[in-house]
Structure 1
Protein backbone atom coordinates (compact mmCIF):
# COMPACT_ATOMS: atom_id res chain seq x y z
CA UNK A 1 0.00 0.00 0.00
CA UNK A 2 1.33 3.44 -0.91
CA UNK A 3 0.62 6.92 0.30
CA UNK A 4 -2.73 7.27 2.03
CA UNK A 5 -4.03 3.96 0.74
CA UNK A 6 -3.19 4.69 -2.91
CA UNK A 7 -1.54 1.80 -4.71
CA UNK A 8 1.81 2.41 -6.46
CA UNK A 9 0.31 1.48 -9.83
CA UNK A 10 -2.34 4.18 -9.37
CA UNK A 11 0.35 6.75 -8.57
CA UNK A 12 2.24 5.78 -11.71
CA UNK A 13 -0.91 6.11 -13.81
CA UNK A 14 -1.65 9.55 -12.35
CA UNK A 15 1.94 10.64 -13.04
CA UNK A 16 1.71 9.48 -16.66
CA UNK A 17 -1.56 11.36 -17.15
CA UNK A 18 -0.04 14.56 -15.72
CA UNK A 19 2.98 14.24 -18.01
CA UNK A 20 0.71 13.65 -21.00
CA UNK A 21 -1.39 16.73 -20.18
CA UNK A 22 1.37 19.20 -19.38
CA UNK A 23 4.46 17.79 -21.09
CA UNK A 24 7.89 17.50 -19.54
CA UNK A 25 9.02 21.04 -20.42
CA UNK A 26 6.10 22.68 -18.66
CA UNK A 27 6.54 20.45 -15.61
CA UNK A 28 10.23 21.38 -15.48
CA UNK A 29 9.31 25.07 -15.59
CA UNK A 30 6.75 24.62 -12.83
CA UNK A 31 9.37 22.86 -10.70
CA UNK A 32 11.90 25.63 -11.32
CA UNK A 33 9.37 28.33 -10.45
CA UNK A 34 8.36 26.51 -7.28
CA UNK A 35 12.00 26.10 -6.25
CA UNK A 36 12.68 29.79 -6.80
CA UNK A 37 9.61 30.75 -4.79
CA UNK A 38 10.71 28.59 -1.86
CA UNK A 39 14.26 29.98 -2.03
CA UNK A 40 12.98 33.58 -2.04
CA UNK A 41 10.61 32.84 0.85
CA UNK A 42 13.46 31.43 2.95
CA UNK A 43 15.65 34.41 2.07
CA UNK A 44 12.90 36.80 3.18
CA UNK A 45 12.50 34.94 6.48
CA UNK A 46 16.24 35.16 7.13
CA UNK A 47 16.27 38.89 6.33
CA UNK A 48 13.43 39.48 8.81
CA UNK A 49 15.33 37.61 11.53
CA UNK A 50 18.47 39.67 10.83
CA UNK A 51 16.53 42.95 11.11
CA UNK A 52 15.06 41.93 14.48
CA UNK A 53 18.48 41.32 16.04
Structure 2
Protein backbone atom coordinates (compact mmCIF):
# COMPACT_ATOMS: atom_id res chain seq x y z
CA UNK A 1 0.00 0.00 0.00
CA UNK A 2 1.30 3.42 -0.83
CA UNK A 3 -0.20 6.49 0.82
CA UNK A 4 -3.63 4.92 1.30
CA UNK A 5 -4.03 4.05 -2.39
CA UNK A 6 -4.90 0.36 -2.53
CA UNK A 7 -4.00 -1.10 -5.92
CA UNK A 8 -2.70 -4.25 -7.54
CA UNK A 9 -0.08 -2.74 -9.84
CA UNK A 10 2.35 0.16 -10.07
CA UNK A 11 0.32 1.69 -12.90
CA UNK A 12 -2.88 1.59 -10.80
CA UNK A 13 -1.08 3.44 -8.01
CA UNK A 14 0.27 6.00 -10.48
CA UNK A 15 -3.24 6.51 -11.88
CA UNK A 16 -4.74 6.87 -8.39
CA UNK A 17 -2.12 9.48 -7.50
CA UNK A 18 -2.83 11.39 -10.69
CA UNK A 19 -6.61 11.22 -10.09
CA UNK A 20 -6.13 12.45 -6.51
CA UNK A 21 -3.93 15.35 -7.67
CA UNK A 22 -6.52 16.38 -10.28
CA UNK A 23 -9.40 16.13 -7.83
CA UNK A 24 -11.16 13.38 -9.77
CA UNK A 25 -12.35 9.90 -8.80
CA UNK A 26 -12.11 10.51 -5.05
CA UNK A 27 -14.93 12.41 -3.39
CA UNK A 28 -14.75 15.56 -1.32
CA UNK A 29 -13.87 15.17 2.34
CA UNK A 30 -16.71 16.94 4.12
CA UNK A 31 -15.93 18.56 7.44
CA UNK A 32 -12.21 19.03 6.70
CA UNK A 33 -11.39 22.70 6.94
CA UNK A 34 -8.32 23.02 4.79
CA UNK A 35 -6.81 22.54 1.36
CA UNK A 36 -6.58 19.01 -0.02
CA UNK A 37 -3.41 17.20 0.99
CA UNK A 38 -0.86 16.60 -1.74
CA UNK A 39 0.06 13.01 -2.50
CA UNK A 40 3.76 12.42 -1.83
CA UNK A 41 6.15 11.88 -4.72
CA UNK A 42 6.34 8.28 -5.88
CA UNK A 43 9.59 6.47 -5.13
CA UNK A 44 12.08 6.43 -8.00
CA UNK A 45 12.24 2.63 -7.85
CA UNK A 46 9.43 0.26 -8.78
CA UNK A 47 7.06 -0.54 -5.95
CA UNK A 48 7.27 -4.16 -4.89
CA UNK A 49 4.17 -6.18 -3.93
CA UNK A 50 4.34 -7.65 -0.44
CA UNK A 51 2.48 -10.86 -1.12
CA UNK A 52 0.93 -13.12 1.48
CA UNK A 53 3.11 -15.10 3.86
CA UNK A 54 1.50 -18.32 5.07
TM-score of the aligned structures, taking structure 1 as reference length? 0.31
**Computing the radius of gyration over CA atoms, which structure comes out larger, 1 or 2?**
1
- Kindly indicate whether structure 1 or structure 2 has the higher relative contact order, using CA contacts under 8 Å at least 6 residues apart: 2
